[in-house]
Amino acid sequence: MKSRVVQITHNGGPEVLQLVEQEVPAPGAGEVLLRHHAVGLNFIDVYQRSGLYQLPLPLNLGMEAAGVVEAVGQDVKHLKVGDRVAYASHPPGSYSERRVMPATHVCHLPDAISFETGAAMMLKGMTAQYLLKKCRPVEGIQPGDFVLFHAAAGGVGLIACQWARALGLQLIATAGSDEKCALALANGAVHAINYRSENFAERVMEITEGQGVKVVYDSVGKDTWEGSLACLRRFGLMVSFGNASGPVAPFAPAVLAAKSLYVTRQTLFAHMHSREATQAIADDLFHVVSSGLVNIHIDQRYPLADVQQAHRDLEARKTTGSSILTL
């Protein structure tokens, strides 16, 4: 059995993405064979393609998808042939029609959630879940508290805006255009700041009457680092979970001293340390989506063959919400 797969043989720009045919093996012990119906696009794919995150080459790209189980290897107990599933997981390889992968992080997809929604939400929605539920400041966080979320009109951001509203948090959004700010506000942000036309740190201090926010959730990286620290309140938590503008430069811990700040660098996969932990995060996500508290915005769809253009749009920040590859 063969499958079309997006592969790179060396790191570089979108032009290194090549659509090739590969033989798909039978699943081994602990593995499943999946037929994808839709595939998710994420900024981590760009990092892996460019070499910011170094992985062995040649490399099949993609970290999330939704589809159907076609075969099950030995020792897989929680899945069977015909199950609807979705996942966000290592190893990469979701940019494909079919793949064999470890079953540990593959989750049942509820019937009420479409394959496209499943593919668009797993990595982004599970990221929003651990950020809002597990990355908490030392003094805790309660309804009414202010938090700052950068790139709030993106896939993770729009989910976080809605989820924060459901939790009673006052989420201040940043985005790169007035249109994106309006989108964040429409999805639950209480304030939105266009960082291209305003100093977001100064504006945050105005909104919070000089107090600052308890938490900053930052996937942008070097361009927002200093401003993010500046708008935290005493004992505030800086949560770094991405590098869209490039990695943060080394810094002296003394810069945290004036307000006794906390800094953490998070990844989703550290929270997915077991099948049970993965399923618990996914179940929380499935609940808020199925209940209507969170709507998954799929604003861009690209055929698998147009993956180069998809990456160009992603890097140029031309996208909003979630993007998927269709098969």
CATH 3.40.50.1000 fits domain 2-123+269-326: no
Q: Would you call 179 helix, strand, or coil by DSSP?
A: helix
CA distance 157 to 239: 14
Amino acid letter at 204? V
Q: Would you call 314 helix, strand, or coil by DSSP?
A: helix
pLDDT by residue (tens digit) across 207-258?
A: 999 999 999 999 998 999 999 999 999 999 999 998 888 888 899 999 999 9
pLDDT by residue (tens digit) across 259-290?
A: 999 999 999 999 999 999 999 999 999 999 99
Burial label for 67, CB within 10 Å (0-12, 13-18, 19+), is buried
Nearest CA-CA partner of 26 in 131, 120, 100: 100
Nearest CA-CA partner of 24 in 15, 32, 16: 32
Please report, for the chain, the start and end positions of each structural domain, with discontinuous segments joined by +.
2-123+269-326, 136-265
CATH superfamily of 136-265: NAD(P)-binding Rossmann-like Domain (3.40.50.720)
DSSP string, 62-130: -SEEEEEEEEE-TT--S--TT-EEEEE-SSP--SBSEEEEESTTEEEPPTTS-HHHHHHHHHHHHHHHH
What is the pTM (predicted TM-score) of this model?
A: 0.93
